[in-house]
Each structure stands twice: as structure tokens, then as C-alpha cells.
Amino acid sequence: MPELLQFLFSGVTVGAVYALVALGFTIIYNASDVVNFAQGEFVMLGGMITVAAYAAGVPLPLAAVIAIVATAAIGVAMNKLAIEPARGAPVVSLIIITIGASIFIRGGTQLLLGKQIHTFPAFSGDAPIRIMGATILPQSLWVIGGAVVVFIGLWLFFTRTLTGRAVLATSNNRLAAQLVGINTRFVMTLSFALSAGIGALAGVLVTPITLTSYDVGLALALKGFAAAMLGGMGNPKGALVGGLLLGLLESMTAGYLSSQYKDAAAFVVILLVLFFMPQGLFGRKSTERV
């Protein structure tokens, strides 16, 4: 029993990391149908900028805020400099642009902040919490809490606010959205700022667990993307459930099958789900009206 509980805790810890990254994908996707492959770099920037500010003597909470604001600004700059000039391009071209931007951000960070692996202290110490023979770190609870808070925030944003609905409208039909008076350029800028901010928040929360360096973004983005696809791209609930599910799948495979097949088993399940439910678990059905 303590064994199963430990596997569950491990899975939830990892899953919450994936979920936080996956949540970052949703806003930009909802605004433009673009899968932003630089999302992992936003997570990396959140961690790395916090590390740099903290090392310079800034208190940790302030360092985290600086990192989130700076990353959001980088997200806006990326939209203005790379995405907006290519506005008329098809979605696939835009996705490729985001891959280019991610390589650029990675290279820039390597030059400015170095190639070393870094970390900063966990928010509530390192003493593990013991529950029925299994243990979980307080930082894992921060990550899980962060994922839930971001999920609720996004859900309220998309269903309860006019701006959130404007984002969805822009994604559905940009021309129609413009005709009803939505400033679609502002929506795009806003979505990049929010996505980058959420990514950076994820980076701040997960760094004490995963550690960070200039090149952690790619691996995080891939797992986060897989989680988002599993849950249904664009749906915050899908991102949360997809992330936790992916983490639990990996942990259970490692625990009861073999750690060698951990990643493979997770991806087989994702393939099967997408085979039978191409929209993911909670994805919206797209209906093309002619």
C-alpha cells in the first residue's frame, strides 16, 4: 500500500509539472490555432531569470515576479517581431516560426545566463510530508496548487469574461471577430503575454524540483504538448487532466512494469486515445460550416 501511494505521489508530482506546461499552450492555441513550440522556453526563462535575479541578491518572491513579468514581455516581443509580421501566413508556417523563436531564445539564454544547471530553494523547505508510509515534498504541493489555480483562472477567463470570449471568437473566425469590433491584434498580444506569464510561473514553481538550465525547455514542451493533446488541445480542463494522467501513466509503468518502458508506455496510450478520439479527451469537435 505505501508503495502504490508513493507511485501515485510521484506520478502526481510529475503530472502537475506537465499540466502546468500544458496549460500554457491553451491560450495561444485558442487565440490563433497556433501550437506555440516556444512554450517550453517560457518555462525555462521563468526558472532561469528567477535564478539570475535571486543570485543577484533579490528576495525570492520578488525575483519570481520579475521573471514572470520579463518573460511576459519576451512573449509580447516574440509576437510583435516574429508572429505579427507573418500574420497572413498559414498556421503551419506560424508553428515553424515558433520553433525558430524557441531556438533563438535558447541560444540567447545560453549566451547571457550560461550553460550551468541551476536551482533555488524550495518555497516551504525540503522536509518531506509523510502520509501512510509514503512521502511527498512540499514543493510538489505548490506545483499541484499552481496548476489548479491556473486552471481555474483560465476557465473563468474563457467562460466568464468578455476578453476571454473575444480570444475564442478570434480563434473561431478572425474576420468575423474584427467585424463585431474585436481588436484581434490586441487579442494576439494579450494571449502571448498571458501564455508566456503562465509558462514563467510554471518555471518558477517547478525549478526547485526539476532544476533548470538553458536547455530544459524542449523536453518540457514535448511532454506538455503530449499532455495537452491527450486532454484536448485548447481546453484548460484537458490540459490539467492530460498532464496528471501522463504523469501517473509514467509512474505506474515504471513502478509495476519497468522503468525502461516508462516513456514508451505513456506514448502508446496517447496514440491509442488519439486514434479513437482524435480531439483528445475533452477537445471540442470542430464542425466546418460551408
Residues that bind other proteins (CB under 8 A): 3, 6-7, 9-11, 13-14, 17, 110, 115-119, 126, 128, 135, 137, 206, 209-211, 213, 215-216, 219-220, 251, 254-255, 259-260, 262-263
Residue type, 170: T
In the complex, the smallest distance separating the C-beta of residue 203 from other proteins, rounded to whole angstroms, is: 12
In the complex, the smallest distance separating the C-beta of residue 274 from other proteins, rounded to whole angstroms, is: 22
HSE-CB at 201 with a 13 A cutoff on CA atoms is 23
Q: Which is nearer to other proteins, 57 or 88 (CB)?
A: 57
Displacement of CA 45 from its chain's centroid (Å) = 12
Q: Which is nearer to other proteins, 79 or 251 (CB)?
A: 251
In the complex, the smallest distance separating the C-beta of residue 259 from other proteins, rounded to whole angstroms, is: 5
Q: Which is nearer to other proteins, 7 or 37 (CB)?
A: 7
In the complex, the smallest distance separating the C-beta of residue 6 from other proteins, rounded to whole angstroms, is: 5
In the complex, the smallest distance separating the C-beta of residue 116 from other proteins, rounded to whole angstroms, is: 7
In the complex, the smallest distance separating the C-beta of residue 26 from other proteins, rounded to whole angstroms, is: 21
Q: Would you say 83 and 94 are in contact if contact means Cβ atoms under 8 Å apart? A: yes
H or E, element range at 130: strand 129-131
Q: Which is nearer to other proteins, 16 or 177 (CB)?
A: 16
Q: Which is nearer to other proteins, 50 or 251 (CB)?
A: 251
In the complex, the smallest distance separating the C-beta of residue 242 from other proteins, rounded to whole angstroms, is: 16
HSE-CB at 290 with a 13 A cutoff on CA atoms is 0
How far apart, in whole angstroms, are the C-alpha atoms of residue 94 and residue 87?
8
How far apart, in whole angstroms, are the C-alpha atoms of residue 143 and residue 209?
9
Q: Which is nearer to other proteins, 208 or 280 (CB)?
A: 208
The CA-CA-CA angle for residues 283, 170, 172, to 5°, reads 45
Helices (H), the chain: 2-32, 39-55, 60-78, 91-113, 138-160, 162-172, 174-179, 184-210, 217-231, 236-252, 262-276
Give the strand pairing for 134-136 and 129-131.
antiparallel
Q: Which is nearer to other proteins, 14 or 182 (CB)?
A: 14
